[in-house]
Structure formats: structure tokens, C-alpha cells
Structure 1
Amino acid sequence: MLLDGASLWFRAFHALPEKMTAPDGRPVNAVRGFFDMIASLVTREHPQRLVVCLDLDWRPAFRTDLIPSYKAHRVAEGVADGSEEVPDTLSPQVDMILKLLAASGIATAGAQGCEADDVIGTLADSEATDPVIVVSGDRDLLQVVADDPVPVRVLYVGRGLAKAEMFGPAELAEKYDVPTENPGSAYAEMAILRGDPSDGLPGVTGIGEKTASKLLHEFGDLDELERVASTTSDKRISPRQRKALAEGADYLRAARTVVFVKTDAEITGDKDDRLPAAPADPAALADLIEELGVGSSIGRLGKALGWQVG
């Protein structure tokens, strides 16, 4: 199981009230919600291995150099280093979460200059033994679904864990009307064509989701669509669409790198991703529980993991 860390703790933060506090008054709503989610996911899906994947660079230069508008609307106002706009009371909780994960023995992984999506893409692509479930509230990760060499599924939690949707290739093709032969890559190519305001992607002028879906069904993939549009007068592509694709050629070339997750990121982090049979550092975990007042959430996690308490 690969967890999109930031996606989940942002959702936990916004789902629970900030009046949930540590004994010293610091908010711990994101901490409690995040660990409750892990406990629920472990209970529901019974993974043997789990990694919390981290954004070591939430807006990588290799993407913004190609499309400067990528996530530009999320940059904190007046911050010179281009940091993401994060609620003041969430940032300290991320540090708490990471300390609790380390003390619990739950693996984390990141890649310098990369987003968590790239870590997930690399780990999912390289897995050759166990089925994979990716958990995220970010639809961009639907592109990683696969059947071979192992099943890779995405549990989309954008509407909350209670309304989570499990996507494999068949479900993705049906819900978003993309080709069944390559639904993961087709979903990413549809996003490229239609654009995605939430990520600052402009898309191709005049091509929305339905048109993108139709064109991908007609031509199979974006490469073939562009080839036919630029070298033939195929009537399945209207003159307006042909013109828009030609004018958007530079964007389409750049967007492939921006939208597709990396599958060759240099991962750093815990090599042992097996779920811990006991806390990695019981004393540190006990201190954090007392300091943060999160005993109930860590207790639920321990129960889900089968820890012997006492």
C-alpha cells in the first residue's frame, strides 16, 4: 500500500476541527485524522507492506521549467522560495506525523527534486511481487493503474474514506470513457488535452473532456493523434481541432513530462516497508503520545497492526 502522504494529511486537517489539541494547546487534528486513516486502511485492505510517500519538492523545477504555470496558483503569497501555501497550524503537524511514523516503524520514502506522485509511480512500476494499492485524493495518480506485472489499483479518497472508490483499468476506462487498452496513460493524456486548472495546465484550446475522450478512442493515444493531425487531412479531426493541436504542439510536448509521473525516481527512505509487528521505538512513541495527546489514534493504529499492548 502506497499512501500519498500530503494528500491524506491535508484532507485530515480540513475534515477535523482544530479544537482537537495536544495538552499544551497545539492543534493535532491532522495528526489524529491521518493516523485514524492509516488504521482504517490497514483494517480494510490488510496490506503486508506500506509506505507513506512524501513530497520532497512539491513543484519540481523539471516541471515548472517546461510549464511555468504548473501549480503556480498554490504558491504562498509573498514567499520568495516558492513554498506551497499551507495553513499555519498544519505545518507543525507534518513534523509531528513524521516523528510518529518513525517511532511506529512505518516506512516513508521520498525522492530529491520530486513529488510524492513520482515516488508512487516509481514504486508501483518497479513492484514485481505483490499487488499494489495507491491511496490518494489526487486523480492524477489514476494513471498508474495496471494489471501487469502485478495489479495496481488506486483507492481514490477525494470525497473521504467512507466514499472511497477503487479504480483498476476497467473501472477507470468505464468512468472516464478512455480506451480500455491503455486506460492509465490515456487518462493522463486526456488531462493533457483538456487541461487541469487545479494544476495550472492550460490544455489545448477548444478541446474539453468529451472531445479529448473521443479523439483518444479514435486514434488510440496522443502520439498517433498528433501524427495524424500534422500529416494527413483525416476527417475525424476537424479543421479547428487540427489548428489547435498544431498551435499547442509545444505545450503538448512539455505536458507529457509534466503530467506523467516518473517511474525512475531515485528513492530515499526506509528499505524495510513491512508493517511493524511492534513499534520501532516504544519509548519515543510513548513520549510522543503523552506530549501530543494522541493515544486514542495510535491505539487504533496499534490494534490494526496487531501490536500487543501492555
Structure 2
Amino acid sequence: MARLMLLDTASLYFRAFFGVPDSLRAPDGTPVNAVRGLLDFIARLATDYQPTHLVCAWDNDWRPDWRVELIPTYKAHRVEAEHDGAPDAEEVPDALAVQVPVIQQVLAALGIAVVGVDGYEADDVIGTLATDAGMAVEVVTGDRDLFQLVDDDAQVRVLYTARGVGKHERVSGAVVRDKYGVTAAQYADFATLRGDPSDGLPGVRGVGDKTAANLLATYADLAGVRAAAADPGSALTPAQRTRIAEAADYLDVAPKVVAVARDLPLGGVDSARPGLDADHPLPADEATLRELSERWGLAGSVDRVLVALGTRP
């Protein structure tokens, strides 16, 4: 059975950096905990789920201008304090920043597809690849926003890593309903209403998880909630009407910010999907992979990935 695994790469290498001891170093003393941790995560996930296709989604733009123009607070708290007029840069510890190019080089040498689109986040790449994939899909992320992609009929699930890759939760439509009281198709509207401080989304004042779920259970979607707020005969309380009205400017733009793009132009990513098939043998560049493994002390982690992906006995 064909299975596509989509990795929210930055989510995983940040988790590796903070979760794997920084005593893991290359022969020259450079920290490699994020590199080794990410590779070990890939090996573990590939062993457990046996994907036939694997893609590392990349943040070509972690905070797209078009999202910031709509909601200026979007991810604002993650921006470096000083950037001298340069484009916003994400606050990344120096010991992680030096590892990101190594991650890119190792993934390229392995031949694992890395896909990013200028002006968009990894979430948008994942949304595009997961939509109409024609096979079962596992999305690996620590970001709840991607719950909106869950689709039991299309066999799209999220492997949610908030408690760690080893303790991840496989999120189906039933899990979303049980946890939040909404369907996966309603999740983006739910997130819009309640807001998300981690992404700088203010939400509607006074609307938390329970109220957002109740509103969507009654009125189906955000458009229905807003129509009810404007209807004197609806069952909304005066306070709810007032708060929804006060949030009108935010509600006009937030759905576009929260919704994951599903139709990006992915260029060389064809309908067959890049990954672990005969047209994309792994490793892609064995000599470079060997050199990188020796230089950065990655041999064990690289071998585990190759074994997990079925390219080493």
C-alpha cells in the first residue's frame, strides 16, 4: 500500500535541538544534536510507518509578508529583536543555526525530497501535497494548525509530536472531535475564533475552546457564526454579539491566515510524488553522504535512516 509521509521539518529539528543533549558534537566540536536528532526521528518514524514516499517540507518563508500584512502580530514574538532593516528573521539559537545547513546537505545527499515554496510556510507545502495525494498520508508535526488537514475518508492523519516523537499521537477525525468538539473540517474556524498566542492570533475576546466549539456546533462555520451575530433573532447572547462585532476586522482576514494553502505551484514535484521509489534511489550521492557522515560524526544516525528506508540490509 502506498503511503506518503510529510515532515514539518523545522518543527522536528527544533524539537531535536531542545530535546537531544548538546553534548553530541562533531569531531571539530560543532554541535550536531539537531542533525542527529532529526535523522533519528526520521529513522524511527519510517520504521514504524513504512512510508513508500517521504517528503521534508521546508519553510522557505516562516513568516510570509502576505500573512503579516493581514495580521501584523502574526508570529511577531518570534522575530529577532534587531535586524537592521533586513527582512524579519526568526529567533534561532546560534547552536541550532549552524546545524541547519548541515541538515540541508545531509538530506540532499540522502536523496530525501526537500520541498519549499518562496513566500509560503512548510504547512502550506504539506497542505498542497496532502490534498488529493491518491494514497494514505501521515503528516508529522507539533503544530495543531495542521489538524485542519485530517480527512478520514482520504486517509490523511496527523502524527502530533507535542509530547515527543516517541510519544506522538495519531490524530484522526475522531480524535479531533473528542478533543475539541469540532470536526477536522471546522478546525480552522475553531482556531480562528479562539485564537492562538503561539502564532500571534488574538482570536475573539472571551471565546475559548468550549465557546468556539459550541458556536460551530450550532452555526456550522465562521460565516454562520457571523451571520447569527448580525441576526437579532438568533440565540447568541448580547455579550457574544458584541464581541463578534468588535472582532469584525480580525475575522475578515484571519481565515486566510489560518487556512493552510492547498494549491501551491510545486514546480518539479510531480504527481508521482518524490520519495522512496525506483525513480529516486537512496542515497542520492553516496560519496557526499560518506564525507558528511565522517565530517560531522553522523554515521550511526545516517545508517539508521538508510536501514529504516529499506536501502541497507
**TM-score (norm: length of structure 2):** 0.93
Identity of aligned residues (%): 50
Counterpart secondary structure, 1:113: coil
Instruction: Please state how far the C-alpha of 1:249 moved relative to its aligned partner.
Output: 1.3
Matched, 1:222 2:227: no
Instruction: Please state how far the C-alpha of 1:269 moved relative to its aligned partner.
Output: 5.6
Deviations 1:223-265 (A, max 9, x none): 1111121133212x10010011111111011100111111112
| 2:36 aligned residue (32, 38, 48) | 32
- Counterpart of 1:190 in structure 2 is 190
Matched, 1:159 2:158: no
| 1:12 aligned residue (11, 16, 23) | 16
Contact 1:23-1:293 within 8 A present in 2 as well: yes
Counterpart secondary structure, 2:264: coil
- Counterpart of 2:247 in structure 1 is 248
Matched, 1:64 2:65: no
Deviations 1:195-226 (A, max 9, x none): 11100011111111111111111111111111
Q: How far, CA to CA, are the matches of 1:59 and 1:306 in structure 2?
A: 36
1:119 partner letter: V
1:273 partner letter: P
Q: How far, CA to CA, are the matches of 2:166 and 2:110 in structure 1?
A: 25
| 1:122 aligned residue (121, 124, 128) | 128
- Counterpart of 2:149 in structure 1 is 144
- Aligned residues, how many? 302
Counterpart secondary structure, 1:50: strand
RMSD: 1.3
1:121 partner letter: G
Q: How far, CA to CA, are the matches of 2:56 and 2:282 in structure 1?
A: 18
Matched, 1:133 2:142: no
Q: How far, CA to CA, are the matches of 1:244 and 1:176 in structure 2?
A: 21
Q: How far, CA to CA, are the matches of 1:278 and 1:264 in structure 2?
A: 28
* Structure 1: runs of 5+ lacking an equivalent: none
- Counterpart of 2:113 in structure 1 is 107
- Counterpart of 1:267 in structure 2 is 266
Contact 1:110-1:269 within 8 A present in 2 as well: no
Contact 1:16-1:29 within 8 A present in 2 as well: yes
Contact 2:50-2:309 within 8 A present in 1 as well: no
Contact 2:124-2:264 within 8 A present in 1 as well: yes
Counterpart secondary structure, 2:88: coil
2:143 partner letter: D
Instruction: Please state how far the C-alpha of 1:270 moved relative to its aligned partner.
Output: 5.3
- Counterpart of 2:57 in structure 1 is 53
- Counterpart of 2:201 in structure 1 is 201
* Structure 2: runs of 5+ lacking an equivalent: none
Q: How far, CA to CA, are the matches of 2:15 and 2:71 in structure 1?
A: 27
